[in-house]
A and B are shown apart, each in its own frame.
Chain A
Amino acid sequence: MTNPSIQQDAINNSIAGDIVIRTENVSIFYGSFQAVRNVFLDIPKHKVVAFIGPSGCGKSTLLRCYNRLNDLIPGARVEGKITYQGVDLYDPKVDPVEVRRRIGMVFQRPNPFPKSIYDNIAFGARINGYKGDMDELVERSLRGAALWDEVKDKLKESGLSLSGGQQQRLCIARTIAIEPEVILMDEPCSALDPISTLRIEDLMHDLKQRFTIVIVTHNMQQASRVADYTAFFNAEAGDSGSRFGYLVEYDRTESIFNAPKQQATQDYVSGRFG
């Protein structure tokens, strides 16, 4: 089982600088089923934080709480406190649409809108009240997502005509066009080939200059390549027999992979488990 005080010590020791998102004793429920139990986890500014762990350990569920995407699932409920820049995200006065404009998300499967490449980016910016030079924003966003050179001559073509890797970078461009503070990525490379994956990983290194990134991944090499901090989640059978996820260890990525403090982490990262 987790021990919150040990986690807190580890975080306090390892995480310096501004904290963008604080996760304090968060438990997530679907109806009466507890999916995630008692997570303490702070996301530092302009860093890449990776969530790793076996399937069903609640890492995606937690990620989706950061932009209140779980609101869309009937019966989903969050206990504890998640604060973004000191503001409680689940305060009744907070508008979830506003949250999602500041905390963008890139999904597991590329999901461009059935519009032109240009409009895929311009749409998000427009509904978020962008009034500036749209052509310039589209170019800047596509450059930011390392896609400009490939699509600059076909901005009028459908976003669906691109390859999977290009579509995912288009989704990243669409997200950075709304200039969020944080970008959540839910296994963004799981549907892509290794070359596209590498390109997106390279991109993350550039993006963290301007954005805070939280990425869920099943690929431990990916976590070790891109993340500054890594959180290892595990799943365990609770009293009632149903499985719930919890945070095992959260530390600098080197520590998680080279000198984990918990045996479960050691077992997972060395491939003896999961």
Chain B
Amino acid sequence: MSSPNQSSRPQNDNPYDIATGEFDKGVTSGRKLFGKVMTGLVMLCVAIALLPLASILFMLLKNGLSRLLQDFPSVFTELPPPPLVDGGGFRNAIMGTLLTCLIGALISVPVGVLTAIYTVEFGQGNKLSQFVRFCTNVLSGVPSIIAGLFAYGVVVVLMGTFSAIAGGVALSVLMAPIIIRTAEEGLKSIPREVRQGLVGIGATNFQGVTNVILPAALPFIATGVTLALARAAGETAPLLFTALFNQFDARSLREPIATLSVLIYNYAIAPYKNQNELAWAAALIVVLLILTVSILARSLTSRKVY
């Protein structure tokens, strides 16, 4: 296999320096420097990106934690006090946030999951499923206050009252696109081979989806639901004129109800110190809630099969 050219090749173009035991320094030191500079630049950008999160957490802990610890159980169990009265808590707002999110989930989870099943498993790229996907993208870009306006127009006007139901409907409009997208991703992550295997053993599309594909995609769907809940828990705008606010406990789903986010909005701009403190404490609770839910979502994703 030897060619005549090989023998005439110069001997000294080996980058390995036998004397020093190092590779050619002339070339690499410049590259190394460039690499270090770029690494530093990237780290700087990461730090800048994390700065707002860190400062928000710092401010919340500084302003909210003391009130939370000082009135530990009563913050969660008492109602907001009237102006110029000390103490009190926001149990009505905690209940309201949980209730509106629950109603939102009850509407958006079935709709979202079934939509994703249609577009991925049954529509398989046909015109309708493309159209649905386009609509989902548009919907996920809709400002949240528009979702509130929609729920106002449909639910509040029809029922004649602000209510937890109206708030839940508004939130479900925001949650649905998140659930559709993550559920679609989860369904698409099931390998083609498994789908072929299902066809190969004579499973109908319905049998395959319900018995194999949906269970395998469940971690993804659960992640989508928790992320959607995290988003809904922090929303204020869609609740402002749907759930409105209530100084007291709502006695039914058909009357105005307090939520943490609207409580923060109302009390943060109130001219009373006690109310301002409650707003800080509520803000800390909301952030902790979202943090917990997000961590839950991560641990659910790590359980995925594929």
Q: Which residues of A pack against B, CB within 8 Å?
A: 67, 69, 72, 97-98, 100-101, 104-107, 109, 111-115, 123-124, 127-128, 160, 171, 174-175, 178
A178 to B211, alpha carbons, bound, how many Å? 17
Determine if A100 and B305 form an interchain contact, defined as CB atoms under 8 angstroms apart. no
Determine if B211 and A111 form an interchain contact, defined as CB atoms under 8 angstroms apart. no
Q: Can you report 20 A-B residue pairs in the complex whose CB atoms are below 8 A from each other?
A: A69-B199, A69-B200, A72-B196, A98-B202, A100-B200, A105-B200, A106-B200, A107-B200, A109-B193, A114-B194, A114-B215, A114-B306, A123-B212, A127-B203, A127-B204, A127-B211, A174-B197, A175-B200, A175-B201, A178-B202
Q: How far is the CB of B303 from chain A (nearest CB, A)?
A: 11
- Tell whether B216 is near chain A: CB-to-CB under 8 Å: yes
Question: Which residues of chain B are near A106, meaning CB under 8 Å?
Answer: 200
A271 to B138, alpha carbons, bound, how many Å? 58
Sorting the interface of chain B by its residue count into under 10, 10 to 19, 20 to 34 or 35 or more gives: 10 to 19
Given A97-B204, A107-B193, A160-B305: A113 and B199 within 8 A (CB)?
no
Extra A-B contacts (16), CB below 8 Å, given A105-B196, A114-B216: A97-B203, A97-B204, A104-B202, A106-B200, A107-B193, A111-B193, A113-B194, A113-B197, A113-B212, A114-B305, A123-B203, A127-B201, A127-B211, A128-B201, A175-B201, A178-B201
Determine if B204 and A107 form an interchain contact, defined as CB atoms under 8 angstroms apart. no
Determine if A111 and B196 form an interchain contact, defined as CB atoms under 8 angstroms apart. yes
- Tell whether B207 is near chain A: CB-to-CB under 8 Å: yes
Question: Which residues of chain A are near B216, meaning CB under 8 Å?
Answer: 113-114
Given A111-B194, A123-B211, A127-B211: A104 and B200 within 8 A (CB)?
yes
- Tell whether B30 is near chain A: CB-to-CB under 8 Å: no
Question: Which residues of chain A are near B212, meaning CB under 8 Å?
Answer: 113-115, 123
A175 to B202, alpha carbons, bound, how many Å? 10
Contact residues of B between 132 and 153, Cβ < 8 Å to A:
none
Q: How far is the CB of A6 from chain B (nearest CB, A)?
A: 34
Q: How far is the CB of A247 from chain B (nearest CB, A)?
A: 24
